[in-house]
Amino acid sequence: MGDPKARTSDATDAELIASWQRGDQRAATALVERHAQALARFAASLGERDGVDELVQDTFVRAFHSLDAFRADSSLRTWLFTICKRLVLDRKRAERRRRDGVELDEAHAVVGFDALDGMVAEETAQRVQDAVDRLTPLQKQVFTLRVTEGMPYNEIAQVVESTEGACRVHYHNAMKAIKEYLSDD
């Protein structure tokens, strides 16, 4: 069997799923470690800033509980992102009901960060954030998945429930807007 640690880090998602289904909980841990932070980035693009740990956790629990419906020839990542998005939509619906129709502008509820620590000038970072905040929700999702995850259009299309062609257009429109913001003096 060899070193289990090396084995899980080298294994594909499909292999880890198979291991987990055979009862190896470390395979589930490896899958979480592999995809959790990417899901958090996507959640942020959906406007989620609070309770993201919980959201990511729920995403995995739901995914693992419904693995029977997961097609092994597809990407687990796509499956996870799809579930995550649906959880966020459900959350938003519940929140909206609770607030009786009063919607927050989540994009502008985001607090300021200085996390890039001089690597990207704060002004540049703020311009990127401003530009991203002004994208349509779909543009923002597509752009984030393409840029932060390098996800191909066919997977993005599944996650955002659109077509590859539409996703391409959303990405390029988003990129155009970002570039305009960045070059704007």
Partner 1 sequence: MIECLDLAKRDRLPEYAHGRLGAAEAEAVRAHVAGCAVCAADLAALETSRLVLSARAPRVDVAAIAAAVTAATAAPTRPALSVARGAASAAPIAKPVAKPAARRTGWASRPWLAAAASILIVVSVSLPLVQSAGRVNGAPVDSASLAPAPGGGTDPVAVEPAAPAPAAAVATGVPVGDGFAELSTDDLSTLLAELEQVEATIATEPASMRKPIVDTPEVR
Contact string (CB under 8 A) for partner 1, positions 8-37, x = contact: -x--xxx-----xxxxxxx-xx--xxxxxx
Contact string (CB under 8 A) for partner 1, positions 161-180, x = contact: xxxx---x------x--xx-
Count CB atoms within 10 A of the CB of residue 185. 2
Q: Which of residues 48-107 bind partner 1 (CB under 8 A)?
A: 48-54, 56-62, 64-66, 69-71, 73-79, 82-83, 86-87, 89-91, 94
Rounded to an integer, what distance in angstroms lies between the CA atom of residue 68 and that of residue 146?
28
One of 45, 46, 141, 170 touching partner 1 (CB under 8 A): 45
Any idea which residue has 């097609």 for tokens?
71
Rg, Å, the chain Cα set:
18
With respect to partner 1, which residue has the nearer C-beta, 102 or 115?
A: 115
SS3 of residue 94 by DSSP: helix
With respect to partner 1, which residue has the nearer C-beta, 56 or 170?
A: 56
Q: How many residues bind partner 1 (CB under 8 A)?
A: 104
Number of H-type helices and E-type strands within the chain: 10, 0
> Residue 27 Cβ, how far from partner 1 at the closest point, in Å?
9
DSSP 118: T
Q: Which of residues 106-135 bind partner 1 (CB under 8 A)?
A: 110-111, 113-117, 119-121, 123-125, 127-129, 132
One of 18, 107, 138, 147 touching partner 1 (CB under 8 A): 147
With respect to partner 1, which residue has the nearer C-beta, 102 or 119?
A: 119
Rounded to an integer, what distance in angstroms lies between the CA atom of residue 86 and that of residue 73?
22
Rounded to an integer, what distance in angstroms lies between the CA atom of residue 74 and that of residue 87?
20
Rounded to an integer, what distance in angstroms lies between the CA atom of residue 176 and that of residue 100?
36
Rounded to an integer, what distance in angstroms lies between the CA atom of residue 104 and that of residue 149?
27
What's the burial of 133, exposed, middle or buried (CB within 10 Å: 0-12/13-18/19+)?
A: middle
> Residue 102 Cβ, how far from partner 1 at the closest point, in Å?
20
With respect to partner 1, which residue has the nearer C-beta, 59 or 100?
A: 59
With respect to partner 1, which residue has the nearer C-beta, 100 or 156?
A: 156
